[in-house]
A = this chain, B = another copy of it.
């Protein structure tokens, strides 16, 4: 029973996951889930991210509606990022995934060692 008539242009979720689960998004969302943050607060919270990448990440997350950007017109200007209701709903699925990662980290580590050992003895 071959149903090869199904058009499969790669999962539509793929693009979405790329936007929300990319390199720095989880760290940023993790911070913003606890409290609203300013730009440089986030930089300090995630020291490895460069300013450029952080800007890109924030823009992307904002565009997808999971975080909000609020500009406070004080003297030098202040920007506060906070998570949106939509962004909060992202937490449980991500936690499930991270739970899986934590739980299976040892098994995966073992698998890697076995694989690398076998590859090395070749």
Contacts and interface: CB of A to CB of B under 8 A. Distances in A.
Interface of A: 6, 8-14, 16-18, 21, 23, 26-27, 30, 45-48, 62-65, 86, 89-90, 92-94, 96-102, 104-105, 107-108, 110-112, 114-116
Contacts of A111: 63-65, 86
A112 B86 CA distance: 13
A122 to B, nearest CB: 13
Contact of A104 (B86, B101, B110): B86
A18 B11 CA distance: 17
Contacts of A107: 65, 86
A94 B12 CA distance: 14
